[in-house]
Amino acid sequence: MSKKILITGGAGFIAHHVIDKILSKTEWEIVTLDRLDFSGNLNRLNEVVSSYDDKVRKRVKVVYHDLKAELNPEICASIGKIDLIAHLAAGSHVDRSIKFPIEFVKDNVLGTAHILDFARKCDGLERFAYFSTDEIFGPAPPGINYKENDRYNSTNPYSATKAAGEELVVAYENTYGLPSFITHTMNVFGERQNPEKYIPMVIKKVRDNELVTVHANSAKTQAGSRHYIHAEDVANALLFLFNYDFSLLKADETGAKCQKFNIVGKDEIDNLELAKFIASCQNKDLNYEMVDFHSQRPGHDLRYALDGAKMKDMGWTPDSAYDKLKSTIDWTLKNDRWLKI
């Protein structure tokens, strides 16, 4: 069945993978709303869309708009009638949020309010998806994996603004009956990622025989760890949720109407192990230094971890990160222009 989906931030890293998945697996029309800033790169979207034939390419429409402003009648007319919304547009670089916290409040809180207000006025909207982050829960002690409705413990402006966005989504469902759900994604990697992110940064530094900095505990004996997940798995999870019958789920134990879902990578990998794997894929030894993550990067945490049992019980599981890491490394080295952008 054909639908029409609005994706905010379509030129961003995760969103362009979502668009690719929708084009390959559905007949849906796509409208992407983007302002093309630090996080958005239209070359990503063009590279993906241009790989399809003319008929498929015509299913994608780009509308330029900065969500710090309300969607005016002209923008709304350009978008047209919508069945689904996936709100991925966000400032997502933790270091930038520490340097420019007010900009992140405008982008991630005010921007979310504006798209929510557009959504509540859409006749027949089936679902609104809000992409959040594991970072809203803060650092996870060893052995602790946070569930969907555990308490917030933001440690930087980025995670605080994403938590605020979640509360707005919940409020719009409770107040206006907006059919919504929230996802918490963990550290996502894949093709065409911003080169300042850890995996492409390590790929480049290993290739160029440079020192790799690995963030660790204060004693510099234990590297930080994440449940890494490929962007294609995240895109698959989103399609799974858009097509899932939520009436099959148990009522939320907190009484909230808005369902939340953790999209968790299969493998927890510490960053030193990851860097060594990237080096081995290039047939090189790793030149690295362990550094105290707190003094080097305030607002960053040693370990993030989510409990993925809910999605697993629903029938969704991701692929192993290691399988897709190898293909991502190979692709990135062959398309190294993405290490320069």
Please tell me the distance from the alpha carbon of residue 299 to that of residue 297, in angstroms, as a whole number: 6
Q: Could you give the C-alpha distances from 235 to 110, 336, 340, in angstroms and in order?
A: 25, 24, 25
Give the torsion through C-alpha atoms of 132, 134, 137, 143, to 10 deg: 160
Helix or strand run (H / E) with residue 326: helix 321-334
Q: What angle do CA 340, 227, 198 make, to 5 degrees?
A: 20
Q: Are 23 and 32 in contact (CB under 8 A)?
A: no
Q: Across 149-191, where does the E strand assignment appear?
A: 180-185, 188-189
Give the torsion through C-alpha atoms of 19, 23, 25, 27, to 10 deg: 120
What SS3 state is found at 211? coil
Q: Across the chain, where does the E strand assignment appear?
A: 4-8, 29-34, 60-64, 84-87, 127-133, 180-185, 188-189, 212-216, 225-230, 259-263, 267-270, 288-292
Contacts of 273 (CB under 8 A, 6+ apart): 223
- Catalytic residue numbers? 134-135, 158
**What's the distance, CA 126 to chain centroid?**
22
Tell me the DSSP string of 229-289. Answer: EEHHHHHHHHHHHHHS-GGGSPPPTT--SSEEEEE--SEEEEHHHHHHHHHHHTT----EE
**What's the distance, CA 308 to chain centroid?**
16
